[in-house]
Structure 1
């Protein structure tokens, strides 16, 4: 599909965070992080916005525009060098997470413990609005950045959230890592995947 991919504008970053929260709302990991459905979209939207704003300065945030905001997004971090944590991260996380803070800290510990050391780009979030799914937008967003990474000889890494996503990423060149399944404290798994530069 010929998606009209462009970098997100600064004014769009909160809308990108909200899109990721909406797209991920049914995921088991989001239900672990924020068990109360009445809080989930708000808290997760703020959380994803925090990281999306940081990625805009330490990677890239691409969007496919839709009629009422972004229809799809890919949020990447450049991990070929040292990437700092977001400014005032711990205070901001505590403020947005509220009573769910320990759950977010468990997620941070899980990801930090299992993040690869080799230089790479990290696909943190790939999200498509529920009304725009199954149109190839996610694949187009990945291909857009993969072409640049391949030209530069840079691999990519991600944590997939379920079996359907694992199969999608395998189709785009990602392979299962040696430590593949990494679980949250309640057993909800993420799946570590690596894409060598081709």
Structure 2
């Protein structure tokens, strides 16, 4: 993925400085370098093992993975190796999150929304909800439930309005990390 990839740019602008990103990689310059590369690898992996849905203008990006056989991975082995090179000792935080997320991940087959990013220039305009509704209609037509981890109470509220419900207990990340909310949506 090139630095000019609008999908990477949208992901970086949406998530590059949020609470979760700062927990993973506190140094902003290092975080943006790692994230730029990591997002590119995640997109490449999702194109092969899931689906990347991009709004025509590139201002919204959804990364869906197939959760038919357990918690899906965001990266392949080569991607994991490259992430370790990029993140160095902070790779441990990626693994801590991965282990906690896997422990909360439902066993039932589903579509997993790994990420939805909306460029900050158009956040709070309804774009994210509209884009997500389109994807959910597809999963509804296929009879597929959906799962995600909301990364804030604000995003959790959006997902509740779209028919998701909380499942299990919230995931509190260690080392004063943020709280994530596992959520499930049955097909409509």
Q: TM-score, normalised by structure 2?
A: 0.89
Distance 1:185 1:12, change over 3 A: same
Distance 1:155 1:12, change over 3 A: farther
Partner of 1:19: 10
1:50 positional shift: 1.6
Distance 1:18 1:98, change over 3 A: farther
Alignment gaps of 5+ in structure 1: 1-9
Distance in 2 (alpha carbons) for counterparts of 1:65 and 1:12: 19
Bigger drift between 36-45 and 119-128 goes to 36-45
The number of residue pairs the alignment matches comes to 185
Note if contact 1:18-1:49 (Cα within 8 Å) is conserved in structure 2. no
Partner of 1:46: 37
Bigger drift between 81-90 and 96-105 goes to 81-90
Distance 1:12 1:171, change over 3 A: farther
Partner of 1:156: 146
Partner of 1:7: none
Partner of 1:71: 59
Where does 1:63-142 land on structure 2 (aligned, <5 Å)? 63-66=54-57, 70-81=58-69, 83=72, 85-142=75-132
Q: TM-score, normalised by structure 1?
A: 0.85
1:76 positional shift: 0.5
Partner of 2:175: 186
Note if contact 1:75-1:123 (Cα within 8 Å) is conserved in structure 2. yes
Partner of 1:5: none
Cα-to-partner distance string for 1:24-44 (whole Å, 9 max, x where unaligned): 133211101010012222212
Per the alignment, in what secondary structure is the counterpart of residue 182 of structure 2?
strand
Partner of 1:57: 48
Distance in 1 (alpha carbons) for counterparts of 2:41 and 2:22: 19
1:139 positional shift: 1.1
1:34 pairs, out of 14, 18, 25, with 25
Structure that is richer in strand per residue = 1
1:17 positional shift: 2.9
Bigger drift between 87-96 and 134-143 goes to 87-96
Cα-to-partner distance string for 1:103-142 (whole Å, 9 max, x where unaligned): 1111111112211110000011111111122222211221
How big is the alpha-carbon RMSD for the aligned residues of Structure 1 and Structure 2? 2.1
1:99 positional shift: 3.3
